[in-house]
Amino acid sequence: MAMQKIFAREILDSRGNPTVEVDLHTAKGRFRAAVPSGASTGIYEALELRDGDKARYLGKAFNVINGGSHAGNKLAMQEFMILPVGASSFKEAMRIGAEVYHHLKGVIKAKYGKDATNVGDEGGFAPNILENNEALELLKTAIQAAGYPDKVVIGMDVAASEFYRNGKYDLDFKSPDDPARRITGEKFGELYKSFIKNYPVVSIEDPFDQDDWATWTSFLSGVDIQIVGDDLTVTNPKRIAQAVEKKACNCLLLKVNQIGSVTESIQACKLAQSNGWGVMVSHRSGETEDTFIADLVVGLCTGQIKTGAPCRSERLAKYNQLMRIEEALGDKAVFAGRKFCNPKAK
């Protein structure tokens, strides 16, 4: 059978390292294969050829530190993310994200030992740290080490409902209960403001409990960053409308299976966008290798997707699909970059 066309592209493997994927076209259709790599290799194996350019890839919004319910460490806040907003394309953003991720691994290993580089549910590292600002400091160090302080900013998913106890927030909820360690929503808001002042934090998801409406509203009025509703809004038009009325947040986290259908998810997205909100399409912690949300984020033109670290195949599947989409769109592809809150802005 004759080959009609063969096309090779660069993708990322399950460790977030670059590899090759090839499309082979024949009269019977398109056939695709990608190249894996081993960690322990025999001396008689076929030789692996890589360019070895460490300035390009040291080993990649990416969730790179896990805490909360997604990891077995003591960290209360659930996700610490990097956003390569200074990239000019999605492919470049992937490269920058991968480099920061691998530098972060080195920073954590040097400070806490190899065991601290184990990963959580979404592929982020899960060092056994307690103080949330310590996670931010690790990210800041990794971003600088990778050489991208002007191109990478930080996002957080706090999932504060997980540690809301009797009207206060327990930042040490994984330890034996101690009411003395709980803080009020007002004090919690001041902690966030210190993060925003000292680190390039531009987005915070679920900073307060899903029913702590007054604190959400008060906090949003005092900051100029993206505040994302997940547990607050659950992709439900009724909760979105309530959040709009109360001016509680300015971005919707869109999870298709929260509301139950693609049609309802699109309606929720349109409602949020019509009220001037941003929209971030999201994975779930228990993911599959289905890539639908990669197509959804492009189709809805939301400019933001959250689908984990550049590690684990169920996370990389979405990122690799987005690189294929960007490749297929060619000159028509637009990377939101610093306009991620409002990707349609001119």
Return the active site residues.
122, 255
Name beta bridge partners: 21. 9, 34
Q: Where are the domains of the chain?
A: 1-35, 58-339
Structural contact between residues 281 and 304, judged by C-beta atoms closer than 8 angstroms = yes
- What the block records as the tokens of 123 is 């592929």
pLDDT at 89 over 80: yes
* 21-35, 66-80, 166-180, 273-287 — most confident range: 273-287
pLDDT at 173 over 90: no
CA distance 206 to 232: 7
Domain 58-339 has CATH 3.20.20.120: yes
pLDDT of residue 305: 94
Residues 6+ apart with CB under 8 A from 238: none
- Please give the biggest Cα pair distance in the chain: 74
pLDDT of residue 46: 41
174-180 long-range contacts, CB within 8 A, separation 24+? 174/73, 174/74, 174/76, 175/74
CA distance 192 to 197: 9
pLDDT of residue 346: 54
List, for residues 96-111, the tens digit of each pLDDT value: 999 999 999 999 999 9
Range in 4-18, 75-89, 121-135, 140-154 the model is least confident about: 4-18
Counting every residue, how long is the chain?
346
- What the block records as the tokens of 264 is 């309802």
- What the block records as the tokens of 265 is 């998810």
pLDDT of residue 124: 85
CA neighbor of 128 nearest in space, from 92, 165, 191, 74: 74
pLDDT of residue 6: 84
Q: Which residue has the tokens 């998801």?
A: 205
Range in 21-25, 60-64, 74-78, 304-308 the model is least confident about: 60-64
pTM of the entire structure? 0.84
